[in-house]
Amino acid sequence: MDASSVKNSSTKIHHLPTVILEKTVYVPDQLEDMPLPQLALAGRSNVGKSSLLNRLAGRKHLAKTSSTPGKTRSLNFYRVSPENFYLVDLPGYGYARCSKTERDKWARLIAAYLHGNTRLFGVVALLDSRHPPQASDMELIEYIQGQNIPLFSVLTKADKCKQQLRRTHQAMWQRLLSAETPPMLVSSHSGMNMDKLWRFFLDRHADYLTRRSGGV
């Protein structure tokens, strides 16, 4: 499924949810049963996860940003209120200049978090709109799908990519994911589609609560 599918035709968010960093996890032993539903954000190093979180929260320094890839080396649990769920920022992958030992450490942490997590209602794959599908992106997507975790796709940095190239990459991802519609384009810099993305997140959370209550 891709994030361009939004149930509510009115996507304007009149009041931004409050987003607060509540917990940081560096090693699998620190993982515990977090009490709230969770939506994870995954993507290559420097795809713009931290900038996206800051834009969604309406704060410049909630998540640390850097021009140097690989700065997010932990699981960061951001509590969304009043809806009461977590946005979970996963370590970026595909950073070639990082040691294999460090990359393996992050992979184990991510795998430990994802495996058997009954409160996780989806993973948002953040993909750089400037580039065609990368092997590391496909590895992540295949892993998530193999875990039977709902997967949603979003193309970032749309303001830095010419319209024709964006459409080409959207179509490529749509074909690869066998999606009914192309992935949503967003920009943390310009704010493009941020209200629509928030609405998508809130709708997925509402769907999860409905399923948990036996409504579906």
Residue pLDDT tens, the chain, 216 long? 667 655 544 456 667 899 999 999 999 999 988 889 999 999 998 899 999 999 999 998 898 765 554 455 789 999 999 999 999 999 888 655 567 777 778 788 999 999 989 999 999 999 999 999 999 899 989 999 999 999 999 999 999 999 999 999 999 999 999 999 999 999 999 999 999 999 999 999 999 999 998 865
Report pLDDT for 8.
46
Domains of the chain: 18-212 (3.40.50.300)
Report pLDDT for 88.
97
Contacts of residue 171, defined as CB under 8 A and 6 or more positions apart, other chains included, come to 182
Q: Nearest 5°: phi and psi at 86? A: -105, 135
Please, what is the end-to-end C-alpha distance for the chain in angstroms?
Answer: 18
Report pLDDT for 63.
86
Tokens of 49: 């996860």
| Residue of 51, 52, 49, 63 lying closest to 20 (CA atoms) | 63
Q: Is 126 exposed, middle or buried (0-12, 13-18, 19+ CB in 10 A)?
A: buried
Report pLDDT for 9.
40
Contacts of residue 12, defined as CB under 8 A and 6 or more positions apart, other chains included, come to 195
Instruction: Note the pTM of the prediction, 2 decimals.
Output: 0.89
Q: Nearest 5°: phi and psi at 193? A: 65, 20
Question: Tokens 């065609």 correspond to what residue?
Answer: 132
Report pLDDT for 11.
56
Tokens of 18: 């409050």
- Give the side-chain half-sphere CA count within 13 A for 33: 3
